[in-house]
Amino acid sequence: MNEATDHNPMQHFQQWFHEVDTSHPEEETNTMQLATIGTDEFPKSRIVLLKKFTWEGFVFFTNFESEKGKSIAHHNKVALLFNWSSANREVFISGTAEKIATNLAEGYFESRPKGSQLGAWASKQSTEISSRKVLDEQLEFFENKFKNGTIPMPEYWGGYIVKPSKMMFTQKYPTEAFSKVTSYTLRPDFIWNKNIHFNKHTNETY
């Protein structure tokens, strides 16, 4: 039980993230697939960027009025998938998505480049825009509107934290016929910074 990975699933994640990030510069380490259950009851996944991970979970930012935002409001059980193919690693997480506090989201919004801030105002996610010209006009409109001060965060924009209930780490060995899979099931009363309250199971799959 010497490895950090034996203690806590989030430490396991941190270790893998760090290893991939430092040893595989070509990998977009913070890119993850977010799967939601839509208002039509069908699953849908799309790429979002992991912006922070804490003991409690995984944070991404989005437009709450997007399809994913409406899906999460309808059904807050979601799944995340990190596919670090250059390291032959995959991390699957299922859990519940909750909005983070507005002031925390504002802190992140303020740190974004001006173009991204204006983009959050100008683009209505998940809706088709009739032309590039329409989007450019919107961008210009908001650029003028906010030309004399800081750009506030739109009220329909913010962050979610995905609090895991299951985490599964898969290491594939390209020259072998098996993959090593380590799964954690977190009990509802899981306390992140204690070494208790989860079941860990490691096996090999073929």
Ligand X SMILES: Cc1cc2nc3c(=O)[nH]c(=O)nc-3n(C[C@H](O)[C@H](O)[C@H](O)COP(=O)(O)O)c2cc1C
Q: Which residues are annotated as a binding site?
A: 46-51, 61-62, 68, 125-126
Q: Name the minimum Å distance from CB 162 to ligand X.
A: 13
Q: Name the minimum Å distance from CB 68 to ligand X.
A: 4
Residue appearing with tokens 């208790």: 196
> Is residue 204 classed as helix, strand or coil in its secondary structure?
strand
Q: Which residues are annotated as a binding site for FMN?
A: 46-51, 61-62, 68, 125-126
What string of DSSP letters covers 174-196? TTSS-EEEEEEEE-TT--TTSS-
Q: Name the minimum Å distance from CB 14 to ligand X.
A: 20
**Which residues neighbour 122 within 8 Å (Cβ) at sequence distance 6 or greater?**
135, 138, 139, 141, 142
Residue 148 dihedral angles phi and psi, to the nearest 5° = -100, 15
Report the interface residues with ligand X, using CB under 6 A. Answer: 31, 44, 46-49, 60-63, 66-68, 125-126
Beta-strand ranges (E) seen in 2-128 are: 31-37, 43-49, 52-53, 58-63, 77-84, 89-99
Measured from the CB atom, is 46 or 145 closer to ligand X? 46
Of 82, 52, 46, which Cα lies nearest the Cα of 66? 46
Measured from the CB atom, is 132 or 147 closer to ligand X? 132
Measured from the CB atom, is 66 or 117 closer to ligand X? 66
Measured from the CB atom, is 47 or 129 closer to ligand X? 47
Q: Name the minimum Å distance from CB 206 to ligand X.
A: 32
Measured from the CB atom, is 118 or 186 closer to ligand X? 118
Cα atoms in the 13 Å half-sphere on the side-chain side of 165: 11
Q: Name the minimum Å distance from CB 52 to ligand X.
A: 12
